[in-house]
Amino acid sequence: MNEADGLRVLLVDDVVDALEPLQMLLALRGCEVRSASCADAALAIEKVWRPDVVITDIGLPGMDGRQLASQLRALDPHVVIIALSGTPPPSDWNSAQTAMFDHYLVKPLNFTQLEAMLGLS
């Protein structure tokens, strides 16, 4: 049995085309995957579905990925939150800002790196 069987992953990105390939790859690896195009939709999904992992873009419209991560932590302190951004974190990003994320990945996503983080490899 694949270690990922049953791993619930929520993908959050306002670029729907970016979600579909990642959703398909994770599903092929045995994950249950849902997606949202904004933070409000992600929070609604979290409340009823309780993902194990949330992979979120930082630059979301409205509530950004940092604000989303903060709210997710308040709802479930054990959820693994992975930031996915087009740029690395700024050098002046303090520990309070990064503490809400378990990992920080830069686009384009290295799927092998993500697989290792999630224990899929």
Parent domain of 102: 8-118
Residue 65 lies in a domain: yes
Lowest-pLDDT choice from 20-24, 52-56, 95-99: 95-99
Domain count of the fold of the chain: 1
Q: What is the CATH number of the domain that holds 59?
A: 3.40.50.2300
Q: What is the 3-state secondary structure (H, E, C) of the chain?
A: CCCCCCCEEEEECCCHHHHHHHHHHHHHCCCEEEEECCHHHHHHHHHHHCCCEEEEECCCCCCCHHHHHHHHHHHCCCCEEEEEECCCCCCCCCHHHHCCCCEEEECCCCHHHHHHHHCCC
Residue 1 lies in a domain: no
pLDDT band at residue 97 under the 50/70/90 scheme: low
Residue 38 lies in a domain: yes
More confident residue, 18 or 64: 64
Residue 91 lies in a domain: yes
The predicted pLDDT at position 115 comes to 93
Residue 2 lies in a domain: no
Question: Is the whole-model pTM more than 0.85?
Answer: yes
Average pLDDT over residues 77-84: 94
Residue 93 lies in a domain: yes
